[in-house]
Amino acid sequence: MIKAVGGLNAAWLLNALGVIKPLAAKTFDFMPCTAVFNVTGQPAMSVPLHWNEAGLPIGMQFVGRFGDESTLFRLAGQLERAKPWAQRVPTAYL
């Protein structure tokens, strides 16, 4: 529905129906730190650099300049070499 309304340039309709604010609130509750970067177009990544006592990964978020994804890719490569995580599986999934 949202795609169709966006294609028609009818965001006013979603606003009039009272859909935008609850949807935005739900989105920010679910992912409070990433939505801003999705909207601004800044590249962002979260990498698991620590694990808690339950064996779950704790991600660290990094944000790059607009259009500068390559810096984040290089950083991810450096971090992966320094503290490998690719083979780690959370204990909840074993």
63 pairs with which residues across the strands? 44
Tens digit of each residue's pLDDT (9 = 90 or more) over 45-82: 989 999 888 888 888 999 999 889 999 999 999 999 99
Mean pLDDT of 37-47: 85
- Considering the entire predicted model, what is its pTM? 0.59
Whether 24 and 3 have beta carbons less than 8 Å apart is answered as: no
Name the average pLDDT for the chain.
Answer: 81
18 in the Ramachandran plot: left (φ > 0), alpha (ψ -120 to 50) or beta?
left
3 or 17, greater pLDDT: 17
Q: Which two tokens stand for residue 24?
A: 């935005």
For residues 35 and 15, give the distance between their C-alpha atoms in angstroms, rounded to a whole number.
19
